[in-house]
Amino acid sequence: MAFEFLKPLDDAFLDYIETLPPQCLGKNTIFHAEDAFPEMDQVAIAILGVLDNRGVNTEDNVVHLNYIREQLYALYPGNWDKTIADLGNVVSGNTMQDTYYVVKTLVEELIKKNILPVIIGGGQDITYAMYRGYDNLEQMVNLVAIDSKFDFGKENEAINANSYLTPIIVDAPNNLFNYSNIGYQTYFNAQEEIDLIEKLYFDAYRLGEVMANPTIAEPVFRDADIVSVDMGAIKSGDSGNFVNFLPNGFNGKEICTLARYAGISDKVTSFGIFNHHDTKQESLLIAQILWYFIEGVHYRSNEYPFNTKDDYIKYIVLIEDEELVFYKSDKTDRWWIVVPFVTNVNNKLKRNTLLPCTHDDYLEACDGVFPERLWKAQRKNII
């Protein structure tokens, strides 16, 4: 059991929880204390800290997460009924690979128990460990990163917070079906990297695009398995990060909206927030991002996978000789399009698959425009 690698929360923090009003989230959460590990049978969401910052800063590996936890657990929950447990912290291993192994094993065990891991940690390279946690789950994986950069690494470069995406794409086993970036800023990314995103049929949405219309990100999260948030995607004026000043990025409202989209996605099975600094100002925003994600989880509609198509309206659109099949939910008015299984070729997806889309995708198809998200999905699907 990987749980034995977790360090319990310290007594000073647990004493702080005792001072909170009874209605606060902290009084409605189960904590890993020195002498008591949470009973996991009824747990739906597990919060994990990762005390390893070497992917960001090899000289200063000190990570303090109590600020974040204090701010989070002082908030008041909504009308929530899912059990939340804070399992404590993963301490730094002798090497980064040791830390990755523990995180990978924890993610795998929790998902197998139908528990959603929420990770707060050091560098965004921990996303690589989260991704490897799906290796034995026999599924293709969709990764969504809220990030100002694509985080491609150079050939033979060690994994770090700015290079973790390359080993995810290259290293075996190759479970990655799609990578989507939300909020990249063009001047932080080489043109060759932007071209590579296109060549691999990945999805990338510029900061200005998403700020102008945050709803375009909702179908992207609806198709995600892993969501990774880089706090560097948020402007310093809203995050309070003045260690590395960032004049542009998402504001507080926008990042919380995106976190809620991630939470309401029936498909998202792990969530992480990385590249933050040990400041009380930034910790408050992280706590609110986590709150909105957890709120979203509590309001999932359980539309995916489809249990029955009786609750959906089927639409068929003909474009030239191709038949496009759309489904619209009666419950939420959300849309999906079918990615067909192609015979006589090797498909990554082993059956017809539903791809989240928008009403605009349907309307454009009616006007004879083939949906770009379906076009990319078809090309990624054929090995």
Stated as kind and residue range, the H or E segment containing 226 is: strand 226-230
Contact call for residues 127 and 78 (beta carbons, < 8 A): no
The CB density around residue 310, as the number of other CB atoms within 10 Å, is: 7
Please classify residue 66 by burial: count the beta carbons closer than 10 Å to its beta carbon, then call 0-12 exposed, 13-18 middle and 19+ buried.
middle
354 contacts 317 by C-beta, under 8 angstroms: no
CB 276 within 8 A of CB 234: no
> Within 19-125, where are the H helices?
66-73, 96-112
Question: What's residue 349's pLDDT?
Answer: 65
pLDDT at 182: 98
CATH H superfamily, domain 2-298:
Ureohydrolase domain (3.40.800.10)
CB 262 within 8 A of CB 293: yes
Q: 297: which strand partners? A: none
Local structure of 165: helix, strand or coil: helix
Q: What is the pLDDT of residues 177-192, one digit of tens each?
A: 999 999 999 999 999 9
At CB < 8 A and 24+ separation, what contacts does 252-256 make? 252/285, 252/288, 254/210, 254/211, 254/214, 255/146, 255/229, 255/285, 255/289, 256/288, 256/289, 256/292
> What DSSP string describes 104-145?
HHHHHHHHHTT-EEEEE-S-TTHHHHHHHTTTTS-S-EEEEE
Report the predicted TM-score, pTM, of the whole model to 2 decimal places: 0.95
Domain spans of the chain, in order of start: 2-298, 309-381
Alpha-carbon span 303 to 331, nearest angstrom: 9
Residue ranges of the chain whose pLDDT lies below 70: 1, 58-60, 305-308, 342-352, 383
8 Å CB contact between 258 and 264: no
Beta-bridge partners for 116: 45
* Rounded Cα distance, 16 and 31, in Å: 12
pLDDT score at 306:
66
Tell me the pLDDT tens digit for each residue of 105-157: 999 999 999 999 999 988 999 999 999 999 999 889 999 999 999 999 987 78
Instruction: Give the model's pLDDT for residue 184.
Output: 98
Does residue 188 sit in helix, strand or coil?
helix
Kindly state the tokens that stand for 54: 């070497």
